[in-house]
Amino acid sequence: MSPTTRTRSQSRNHVVLATLGLLAGAVACSGQNKTAAPSSAGVSAAQFALTTSDLPTCGSSRDGEIYYVSSDSKFYVCNGSTRTWVQTNLNGVNGASRVTPISPGSQCPTGGSSIQFGLDLNRNGTLDTSEVTSTTVVCNGSTGVQGPQGIPGPQGATGATGATGATGATGATGAMGATGATGATGATGATGTTGASGANSLIRQDNEPAGANCPAGGIRIQSGLDTNGNETLDPSEVAQTSYTCNGQNGTNGRDGTNGTNGQNGQSWLIATTPEPAGTNCASGGVAVQTGPDLNNDGTLQSTEVQHTVYVCNGTSVGCGAGSHDNGSGTCVPSGCASGYHNGGDGTCVATGTCSEGYHNDGTGACVQAGCALGFHDGGGTCVADGTCATGWHDNGAGTCVKSGCTLGFHDNGAGTCVQTGCASGYHNGGDGTCQATGTCVEGYHNDGTGACVQAGCALGFHDGGGTCVQTGCASGYHSGGDGTCQPTGTCVEGYHNDGTGACVQAGCALGFHDGGGTCVANGTCVAGDHDNGAGICVHTGCAAGFHDGGGGACAANGTCVANYHDDGYGTCVATEETLVSGQNHPYGIAVDATSVYWRTGFGTVMGVSTSGGVPTTLASGQDGVPASLNYILNGIAVDATSVYWINQYTGTVMKVPTSGGTPTTLASGQANPIGIAVDATSVYWTDMVAGTVMKAPTSGGTPITLASGQANPTGIAVDATSVYWTNPSGTVMKVLTSGGTPTTLASGQCNPTGIAVDGASAYWTNQCGTVMKVPTSGGTPTTLASGQADPFGITVDATSVYWANWGGTVMKVPTSGGLSTTFASGENGSNAIAVDATFVYWTDYNNGTVMKLPK
């Protein structure tokens, strides 16, 4: 059998297995220093010394060497940077593997084996399914061409009888036997209790004043079921509210030579008619029709109907012939239950209500028409003479109407129809309608003296921005350049802002220049333009003697702008900068306004200024390098005050101030936390072994499970509303930050790992070599890049997606898709990546560096 495939995680696990094997050999030696053979993974093997005085001199050449000191029964490792031997503990979780044969097929034409690797986390000596972190398929080589037959050799001894082969697969299921005879029909069940009568649906319409719901006013339509049977749609019974809005009036022309006033918008009308039982309403109801009053006759014609909705009655269960529902759900031959009476048609309804088509005559009796003596129709309801029902008023002639007044009367502003004048606090709003003092009806304005007019201002007043004022302009307005008041910040045609807010016809104020059609402070240009090197703002190109010095900025020929250098062919390219070197397997990265943060294999949390300098240890004694580098992703996160990280093996979620201090444990007892993210109030993490997505307050508190039953969740990201994560089994998921049912954004992916989000999309890396995106609201995933060399960490800004390929490159591509750009190459294990407004930052695991490069 010849191996055809070998994963990276397999070789890394050899580090742990080889070290444990060397321990056994080291302890067995005695008498003198012994050096074990180097491990196959390229990591220094453990060596032996009798006492600490026998240890060789520790220096940079011995950095990372491990000795077992017999007199102490301890291990020591050389810290090359400090030239000291440091006591350490190599007791880790054992690596484990499991081999499963593969039959010949499309995966392996001649058969082979599936080798699964992982850590024996529960220490039972067996690699359980939940402990598998990587899988290698090793295929048998194909059968070679048969060589010539050799000379027969002497007959060998008869071999031992081979073991009995495994039992063959179970044969196919036999044909189904003939169907047996049908059993006897069971006895009919008892008749269920008759259900209560369904409640009637009601509809209510009221005038809607001009506002957020209807800019020009209109009608508010409320509907719901009459659950208390009082034939009135009470506020607690409203189930749905909609609005039929009036069209808005056209805007008035500008003063000066007055333009023609805009025409008033069409009023919308509503009509309701009973809807018989049928397709639209199984138990009948009301048809509500709306549309514009195109001919202005105040009646909704059939040709003007644009929308029809149905408000249906609830259903009810009938009774047998000769009986009826007494109102409480019981069928009786006569009478009604307590609290119910005859609703007019013989149906029992709640006292005080009537059946459809009947109404209360004022005394409590249900009749089809008319009112009892001393009562009259007060607006669809019988009320005492001289009064009107709620929502109705006297039209001035003694008739209750929903709106308006009879000919010769008008609303005095307080809701009363009068022949002349307006109520206290009201005046003529311009068209004869009474409005609150100081206001005018639409299409009219205050002329400055309090009178409502359609155009112009009174003598001594002018238009100060839609309002008549004596001098200057109204609040929020200024002179637009020609003496006309314009909204602050705008100028009339032919004038522009000189940089200080004044409107001028030409030039810019002192200290400002034309930055590309707009006056901007000297030395700056508007967005999309740049200084051509000679002080002039242009869209493209540079002045004579200048060229693109890097990032679009013009520099004198032969020079490059900061953070760029000449590539030897006259082109300025970004300069890659090593922020920190000599780190022990740095992984995970986060950046804030001033600093970059990462973790190391020595179990430290580190930070350094974004401009470089001496790194600071923020926390030590934490978990070191995870055994499987497949899951070094969001190992660290930062907010305005603190740095957050997870300890995979001790199962804790930690934080420390960005300035350093004592670490705080935010959560403990986690099975195997992997990825971490943070927002303004909470920290979020994935637990690979538990299969959960968790959160806890950044200030401390009880952890909350947002999602469970996930398939080894790893990478994680968060936005304003949701948490997103990857399952290596092939799915990309999300759930609200407040919890709920998880949503699958993408499936069928190839080992999705890192993940990032912006306001519209989620982005992730597939370790098989693709970079993907999908809308956060769901949709079809899009491939942004393919053919990548084991992409790991990923991040995003307003225009581009950035990722780190373990195979040695740092890449970017526009968020909308397009050509991928190589930012850096020749890396050796680039794994985590972050960006700020100017630079890209990443960690190089094997080179031991933290890097940055201009965008």
Model confidence over 481-497: pLDDT tens digits? Answer: 777 788 887 888 888 88
Of the segments 189-203, 437-451, 585-599, which one has the largest average pLDDT value?
585-599
89 confidence band (pLDDT: 50, 70, 90):
confident
Q: Which residue, among 743, 730, 646, has the nearest Cα to 695 in the 3D structure?
A: 646
Q: Which of 381-385, 595-599, 603-607, 678-682 has the lowest mean pLDDT?
A: 381-385
Q: How confident is the model at residue 714 (pLDDT cuts 50, 70, 90)?
A: very high
Task: Tell me if 526 sits within 8 A of 517, measured CB to CB.
Answer: yes
Pairwise CA distance, residues 495 & 370, whole Å? 71
Confidence grade of residue 369 (pLDDT, cut at 50, 70, 90):
confident
pLDDT, tens digit (0-9, with 9 covering 90-100), for 553-564 = 888 888 888 878
Residues 664 and 595: their CA atoms lie apart, in Å, by: 20
| pLDDT of 415 higher than 90 | no
Out of 95-99, 327-331, 457-461, 601-605, least confident range: 95-99
Question: To the nearest whole percent, how much of the chain has pLDDT over 70?
Answer: 82
Mean of the pLDDT values across residues 215-234? 76
Q: Which helix (H) or strand (E) holds 694?
A: strand 692-697
Alpha helices in 647-715 (DSSP H): none
Mean pLDDT on 370-377:
84
Range with the poorest average pLDDT among 249-253, 452-456, 534-538, 712-716: 249-253
Average pLDDT of the chain, as a whole number? 80
Q: Residue 205's beta-bridge partner residues?
A: 221
pLDDT of 367 above 60: yes
Report the distance separating Cα 11 and Cα 8, nearest Å: 6
pLDDT bucket at 41, cuts 50 / 70 / 90: very low
H-assigned helices in 449-507: none
Give the ranges where 176-310 is alpha helix by DSSP (H).
Answer: none
Q: How far is CA 584 from CA 10, 64, 309, 612, 635, in A?
A: 21, 9, 71, 18, 15
**295-309, 477-491, 733-747, range with greatest mean pLDDT:** 733-747
pLDDT value of residue 95 = 63
Higher pLDDT, 565 or 679: 679
Distance CA 140, CA 1 (A): 4
Residues 139-179 pLDDT 10s: 777 666 565 666 666 777 767 777 766 766 666 666 666 66
Q: How many CB atoms lie within 10 A of CB 9?
A: 18
- Res 8: pLDDT: 33
Starting from the edge strand earliest in sequence, which strands make up the sheet with 307-312, in order? 268-275, 285-292, 307-312
What pLDDT shows up at residue 814?
A: 96
pLDDT above 50 for 798 = yes
* Torsion of the alpha carbons at 165, 169, 170 and 171, rounded to the nearest 10: -110
Angle at 740 between CA 735 and CA 744, to 5 degrees: 40
Q: Is the pLDDT of residue 663 over 60?
A: yes
CA dihedral angle for residue 60, residue 64, residue 70, residue 71, rounded to 10 degrees: 60
Highest average pLDDT, of 27-31, 262-266, 321-325, 382-386, comes from 382-386
Q: Who has greater pLDDT, 746 or 446? A: 746
| Pair of tokens at residue 805 | 């390929």
Q: Specify the 3-state DSSP secondary structure of 236.
A: helix
Local confidence band at 722 (pLDDT 50, 70, 90 cut-offs): very high
pLDDT score recorded for residue 848: 93
pLDDT at 143: 66
For residue 707, is pLDDT > 70? Answer: yes
Higher pLDDT, 57 or 151: 57
For the chain, what's the residue count? 855
User: What's the sign of the alpha-carbon dihedral 150, 154, 156, 158?
Assistant: positive
Q: What are phi and psi of 525, to 5 degrees?
A: -135, 160
Judge contact between 532 and 543, C-beta under 8 A: yes
Say which residue, 806 or 527, is predicted with more confidence. 806
In the DSSP assignment, the letter for residue 11 is H
Q: Return the top range by mean pLDDT from 161-165, 420-424, 455-459, 661-665.
A: 661-665
CA 236 to the chain's CA centroid? 34
Instruction: Say what the pTM is.
Output: 0.43
- Assess whether pLDDT exceeds 90 at residue 181: no
C-alpha span between 624 and 578 (Å, rounded): 23
In sequence order, the 6+-apart residues with CB closer than 8 A to the CB of 233 are 202, 203, 204, 222, 223, 224, 226
What is the 3-state composition of the chain as percent helix, strand, coil, each rounded to the nearest 5? 5, 35, 60
Query: Would you state the pLDDT for residue 145?
Result: 59
pLDDT number for residue 173? 64
Give the residue among 345, 349, 320 at the shortest CA–CA distance from 336.
349
For the stretch 624-650, what's the b/e string if a residue is b when 16 or more beta carbons lie within 10 angstroms of its beta carbon?
bbbbbbbbbbbbbbbbeebbbbbbbee
- Stretch 187-210: mean pLDDT: 66
Tokens 């291990």 found at: 75
Contact 497, 505 (CB under 8 A): no
- Please tell me the predicted confidence (pLDDT) of residue 786: 96
Per-residue pLDDT at 599: 94
Which two structure tokens, joined as six digits, stand for 327?
């109102």
Rounded CA gap, 114 and 124, in Å? 21
Residue 192 predicted with pLDDT over 60: no
Per-residue model confidence (pLDDT) at position 580: 97
The average pLDDT across 594-614 equals 95
Q: Is the pLDDT of residue 44 over 60?
A: no
- Token duo for residue 152: 């027969």
Would you say 624 and 602 are in contact if contact means Cβ atoms under 8 Å apart? Answer: yes
**3-state helix/strand/coil string of 132-188:** EEEEEEEECCCCCCCCCCCCCCCCCCCCCCCCCCCCCCCCCCCCCCCCCCCCCCCCC
Question: What are the pLDDT digits (tens) for 445-461?
Answer: 888 788 888 888 888 77
Lookup result for tokens 């390929």: 805
Distance CA 595, CA 582 (A): 18
Rounded alpha-carbon distances, angstroms, from residue 686 to 125, 394, 671: 26, 69, 10
Residue 151: its pLDDT value, please?
65
**What's the rounded mean pLDDT across residues 571-583?**
88
The per-residue pLDDT for range 631-644, each reduced to its tens digit, is: 455 589 999 999 99
**Which pLDDT value is given to residue 764?**
97
| pLDDT above 90 for 124 | no
Does 774 have pLDDT greater than 90? yes
Name which of 598, 578, 579 is nearest 587 in CA terms: 598
More confident call, 116 vs 672? 672
Q: Quick one: pLDDT at residue 829? A: 87
- Tell me the range of 91-100, 527-536, 699-708 where mean pLDDT is highest: 699-708
* 583-587, 598-602, 607-611, range with greatest mean pLDDT: 607-611
* Residues 730/748, Cβ–Cβ less than 8 Å: yes
Q: How many angstroms separate the CA atoms of 684 and 686, rounded?
A: 7
How many Å is the Cα radius of gyration of the chain? 41
3-state SS assignment for residue 855: coil
Quote the CA–CA distance of 830 and 845 in Å, as a whole number. 6
Q: How confident is the model at residue 627 (pLDDT cuts 50, 70, 90)?
A: very low
By C-alpha distance, which of 456, 433, 436, 452 is closest to 444? 452
